[in-house]
Every structure is written in C-alpha cells, then in structure tokens.
Amino acid sequence: MRRVVCPGSFDPVTFGHIDIIGRAAKQYDEVVAAVLNNVNKRGLFTVPEKLDMLRASTADLDNVRVSEFDGLLVDFCRANGIETIVRSLRSVSDFDYELQIAQMNFRLSGVETVFMTANPQYSFLSSSLVREIAQHGGDVSSLVTPYVQGRLRDKYEERAGA
C-alpha cells in the first residue's frame, strides 16, 4: 500500500489543490489530504470548515481521505504509515522554500518529498489571492468550486454583519 500525504493550510481549498490531489490519487494507492491545525495562526476558515470543503471537493475520489494534523508533519506521517509527502511547485520561489523544508523533513525522519509541477492553468493561484478577491466581491468561480464559493460568500457576509 503506497500512502502519501498532501498537506496544506487549505484556507480555502482551490482548484490548484484539487488538481494536485487528483493527480496524486492516480499515482498512489491512498492519498491523505491533511489540513494543518496551526494554533499560532488563525485562518479565515476554522479547521472543521476547511475539512468540510476538502471533503466536498474530493468526494468523487475513492482513494482520498481527509484528515487534520498539528505539530510536525513528519510525526503525522510516522503515525499514519506515510513515507511520502506530495507538494506542488508553481514557481522557482516555491522551489527555494520547498527544497529546504523537504530536506529538513528528510533529515528529521527519512520521509521523502515528491514534487509535482503545478498545472499551468493554476500556477498563479493561491488561497490568499482567492480570499482577497472574494473579500472584495470579485469573481472566484474559475478558481474554487461552487461550494467553496458559497462558503466564502457566507464568511465575508458574516464578517460584514458582525
């Protein structure tokens, strides 16, 4: 059984994430899409909201399950029998950062990192840009699923009303 993890903040999940998770699901037996539960950094969405959107976005992929982790990713890997981390590279600046993290994770635990090149259709896409566009009422329909679009709308309406 070749099980890998696609870790991330997923605040919120985008078509870029879904593309990578789907491609990983074709290459490996099982993919765990794991949301970082970061106590030091509050996102726009709560972890349960992120998990819900990830589940909805990957519901058609039989070998993908959704989970959360806190602390070190390598500890999550060890606890779940995962030997490979899958990360996406959109640009050279992603590579600079990701290489260091991948090498540190390998040093810490021997876990391998496999890089997938981002689909050029989504190489400009990030959750932070999606949040910014949605916050100002811009159109994110080509960047996230209709379900996530609705959750973004609800979130910013809720915030405006608060």
90 in catalytic set: yes
136 in catalytic set: no
Q: Token pair for residue 143?
A: 């960047």
The yes or no reply on residue 99 touching ligand PNS (CB under 6 A) is no
Please state the closest distance from residue 97 (CB atom) to ligand PNS, in A.
Answer: 9
Q: Which residue has the tokens 């539960």?
A: 37
Query: What is the size of the binding site for ligand PNS (CB under 6 A)?
Result: 9
Q: Which is nearer to ligand PNS, 12 or 52 (CB)?
A: 12
The yes or no reply on residue 24 touching ligand PNS (CB under 6 A) is no
Q: How far is Cα 145 from Cα 47, in angstroms, rounded to an integer?
A: 18
Residues pairing with 116 in the sheet = 88
Q: Which is nearer to ligand PNS, 99 or 104 (CB)?
A: 104
**Which uninterrupted H or E stretch holds 114?**
strand 112-117
41 in catalytic set: yes
The residue sitting closest to ligand PNS, measured at its beta carbon, is 8
Site stretch for ligand PNS (CB under 6 A), options 4-12, 54-62, 132-140, 151-159: 4-12
17 in catalytic set: yes
**125 by DSSP, 3-state: which?**
coil
Q: Which of 54, 73, 148, 152 binds ligand PNS (CB under 6 A)?
A: 73
**Contact call for residues 4 and 84 (beta carbons, < 8 A):** yes
The yes or no reply on residue 104 touching ligand PNS (CB under 6 A) is yes
Residue ranges that bind ligand PNS, judged by CB under 6 A: 7-9, 36, 72-73, 101, 104-105
- Which residues are catalytic, by number? 17, 41, 90, 127
